[in-house]
Structure 1
Amino acid sequence: MKNNSLLFLMLLPAFSLFSQNYMISFSGSGETTVIDSVIVYNFQQNISLTLQGNDTLHLVENLGIGQPSRHKPINIYPNPTANSSRLELFCYRAEKAVLQVYNKSGILIYQEGLLVEQGDNTFTLEGLRQGNYLIRINSPSEEYSGQLIAAGSGSGPVKLTKNSTVSFKSLPTDDKNAGSIIQMLYHSGERILLKSFAGPYIHIKSIIPAGNELVNFEIIPCVDGDGNYYPVTTIGTQLWMAEYLKTTSFTDGSPLTLITDNTTWVDYSLPAYCWFNNDEITYKQSMGGIYNWYAASSSNICPVGWHVPTDEDWKILEGTVDTQFGVGHTEWNKGSWRGFDAGCNLRARGIWTQSLPGCETDYFGFSAIPTGGRSYISGTFGTGTNWNYIWASDDIDELNGIARHLHSSYHGVRRTNQAKAEGASARCVKYIDNRKN
């Protein structure tokens, strides 16, 4: 009885280890249907992969000993096994194949012909004696492999039984369109960030997979008056710029006023912008422009169909990314620092100085970085190392608007009044269902 209990405890990790096995494929719509490539981030595992647009992402909870991340795997469980194991493999097409079992000395001990079908194929393998085995299934177009530990008292004969096939209809059937299956380590409940590239367009999505999924990237233009293309990220019901606005002109082509002099900046009450430390070459691409409220609240500073977020737009974003206070919670109506971890989940990774441990998740691809600002009192610039000031389009009174602040020492997001002559960053937003756009 003691030995059986020990064996049961030994098998428990194997059951949970293979509990998730998801296939994620990609498509495009909108400006283009062709996705060139996708970068996949699993920040909890600290890994990333680059796929071609026609590749399929295979999320598994165990990559297997010595198995590379780019291959055709056999999912085997329980493993170790006392009696029989279930073999799962994913096939692009129906065709004849051969299953081979090798012992640890590399000797072929079992071989059987079989037919695999398009989709998820499952088989039961039983009768193996104690030992370590390499399982291979070869077909004219694919090769699959996996390792199996037999820990029971099997004495043969070895037997293979086909169980079922589940079709995955969204996969391409044309050989020219079928890409590779690329494997990534994944544990249930982890958030996966997908960054797609389609010509000049970049679209980011965050998902928590719960099964096989076809992820569609709706390619929506986000191009400012200067012709700059911006990456966009889907966050709940909203689409956000994934970078800071850096336009020097309105969408009608008229220029914004560039102010470098400190005194002029303080006294100016019309739309204006500058670059951090008046250094366009160093800071334009990373920090974007610094705008006064008069510029940020202009109706035509954002790309056509986009707008500078209102205070309510910000509240929706904060409630979407926070893990404790959801959209519509009264927490977001407060002033000053609010939320449980919304600030952490909006911040880019590895950029902020003196950051709280684990507080740069960037789970949604918003990628906020420190941008400093410009004083409405002296016209001088902030440090640009641990603060981010971002405008809302609302105002409080003749002299003050509303802004959001992020800081490396706070988990939340600060909602605050800010002088309209202050210099801060800007982003643009639109709604997926086109309301408020």
Structure 2
Amino acid sequence: MMLKFSLIQAFIVISSLILNAQDYLIAFKGTGAAATIDSVKIENLTQATDLTINGGNVLHLVNKITDIVPVDQDPYNQVLIYPNPMTDYARLEFTLPEAGMTSIAIYDFSGRALNRIKEYLNKGLHTFSVYGIKEGIYFIRIVSGNYSIGSRLVCSGSNENNVVIKHENSYQTGELIQGTKGTHAEIFMQYNEGDRLKITGYSEIYSTVIVDVPTESKDLSFEFIKCTDGDENNYPVVRIGDQIWMAENLKTSSYKNGTSIPNVENGTEWANLTAPGYCWYNNEISNKNIYGGLYNWYAVNTGNLCPADWHVPSDNEWHQMVLYLDANATLLEERESRTAADNLKETGITHWNYPNAGTDDTGFTALPGGYRRYTGEFGGTSDNGDWRTSTQYDATRVWYRYMFTNSGDVYRKITNMQAGYSVRCIKD
């Protein structure tokens, strides 16, 4: 008994050393078109680091990786606790290698057992909830035959009720676990308070972007929405305010019904077009997957350019997004906003030329795909991005938006119908 308490107290001492450092657990779930998550990519935009994990994993954000007691990554030798720190409740998730009578106990800082339950559990994955805990540091211990695992639990709440341990779910080995795929591990990532994370969830043909600055443990939900063009390209989507946008530029060579769009490479032919046409920047297909296509107004005006249930945004829909990012934005020609471009542009100088102050707060990840002039020449790649709207200014001109590498400005300008610009579609 004394040995058990000594181990518990030693673990608590180690835990208390890192308690003051931020320590967040982020779990993931899918909603909408898919409930399961294949994988999650986490990009720390502040530090320019990234990590890809299994969709069933729990992301553990810590200030210093070296401060954390190493966790055995064997799925049969760990307890996942989320959220941790908890306020009102937490979930315990663990896997038993063999069936048997199992004890789940929670101890306080002094080693006193606050509650202990015993149940016969089958081999497989099990989930329990814990609540009724007041503020403090606790230790969870699970024992089944010769198998024993434990983990610390931090509570920041003020509950004074009886401590409850409640069995929620069990899945025998080989069963599908709803909402997750693969193993369930706690994956560490170094994180400083205030870092901005771009988090992309993937599920088969679906992908959704969330940008977050975590300040607590939480569950993040990816709302999966189909966005598939006429070439069967699938696009990530992102919610900005009340709108849902593509998180990449359109790169289709076909309308949504599968009919081909003319690919016009010759400059003179491009300049004389009065019908739909598109091209890749510099007529190089290597630019397709990075910057997408450049489309003239006639292709936009067909109403069939974007995926089903999506459309080319109007001038007002673009302004709605800019106004959401900058309350001082004005619907005037020339400068629409002095700051919103930095919220929309990709970070760093991988694609934008120096200096680029883009923070990508939105997950829109605007890229400098350049343009094709109405005369047929290309220009602007790495320096500016240009996007079409569906709104005409007059019989021969239309509204569009553009951004520069060295500015936070979003510009609202008029252009002719022959020019080739990028397209971002918006959900109907």
Aligned AA (1:37) = S
Instruction: Give the corresponding residue for 1:428.
Output: 425
Question: Within the alignment, does 1:373 sit opposite 2:371 as a pair?
Answer: yes
Q: Identify if the C-alpha distance between structure 1 residues 275 and 23 changes in structure 2 by more than 3 Å, giving closer, same or farther.
A: same
Contact 1:73/1:89 (CA < 8 Å) preserved in 2?
no
In structure 2, the CA distance between the partners of 1:35 and 1:376, relative to structure 1 (3 Å rule), is same
The Cα RMSD (Å) is: 4.1
3-state SS of 1:316 partner: helix
In the aligned structure 2, how far is the partner of 1:402 from the partner of 1:241?
A: 19
Matched, 1:215 2:220: yes
Residues 290/166 of structure 1: CA separation in 2 closer, same or farther (3 Å cut): farther
Taking a change above 3 Å as real, the CA distance of residues 251 and 142 of structure 1, as seen in their structure-2 partners, is same
Contact 2:338 2:409 in 1 (8 A): yes
**Identity across aligned pairs (percent)?**
30
Find the aligned partners of 1:369 and 1:68 in 2 and give their Cα distance. Answer: 40
Matches within 5 A, 1:11-410: 18=20, 22-60=24-62, 65=67, 67=69, 91-92=92-93, 95-96=103-104, 115=115, 118-119=129-130, 138-140=141-143, 142-144=149-151, 174=171, 177=177, 179-186=184-191, 190-209=195-214, 211-280=216-285, 282-320=286-324, 322=325, 325-326=326-327, 329=328, 331-350=329-348, 351-356=350-355, 359-377=357-375, 379-410=376-407
**Does 200-209 or 31-40 show the bigger shift?**
200-209
SS at match of 1:425: coil
Q: Which moved more, 1:290-299 or 1:170-179?
A: 170-179
- Residue 120 of structure 2 corresponds to which residue in structure 1? none
Q: Relative to structure 1, is the Cα distance of residues 337 and 18 closer, same or farther in structure 2, using a 3 angstrom cutoff?
A: farther
Tell whether the 8 Å contact from 1:119 to 1:165 is kept in structure 2 after alignment.
no
- The structure-2 alpha-carbon separation of the partners of 1:115 and 1:343, relative to structure 1 and needing over 3 Å to count, comes to same
Corresponding residue of 1:155? none
Q: Which runs of 5+ in 2 are unaligned?
A: 1-15, 83-88, 95-101, 117-127, 154-158
Q: Distance in 2 between matches of 1:24 and 1:346?
A: 25
The answer to whether the 8 A contact 2:253-2:260 is kept is yes
Q: 2: distance between equivalents of 1:173 and 1:186?
A: 32
Give the C-alpha shift of residue 214 in structure 1: 3.0
Q: 1:173 to 1:381 in 2, by over 3 A?
A: same
- What is the CA-CA distance between 1:310 and the residue it aligns to? 0.9
Structure 1 residue 421: deviation in Å?
A: 0.8
Distance 1:175-1:346 versus aligned 2 partners, 3 A rule: farther
Match of 1:78 in 2: none
SS in 2 for 1:332: coil
The change in CA–CA distance for 1:228 and 1:398 in structure 2 (over 3 A counts) is same
Residues 46/250 of structure 1: CA separation in 2 closer, same or farther (3 Å cut): closer
Counterpart amino acid of residue 118 in structure 1 = S
Q: C-alpha displacement at 1:52, in angstroms?
A: 2.1
1:66-118 deviation digits (Å, cap 9, x = unpaired): 5469887999xxxxxxxxxxxx99733794459799xxxxxxxx977665773
TM-score normalised to the size of structure 2?
A: 0.72
Q: Is the 8 A contact 1:95 1:139 kept in 2?
A: yes
TM-score of the superposed pair, with normalisation by structure 1: 0.71
Secondary structure in 1 aligned to 2:330? helix
**Cα distance in 2 between the residues matched to 1:420 and 1:15:** 64
Gaps of 5+ in 1: 1-13, 76-87, 102-109, 126-134, 147-161, 431-436
Q: Structure 1 residues 145 and 414 mapped into 2: Cα distance closer, same or farther (>3 Å)? A: same
User: How many residue pairs end up in the alignment?
Assistant: 368
CA distance in 1, matches of 2:167, 2:262: 51
CA contact 2:245–2:426 (8 Å) conserved in 1: yes
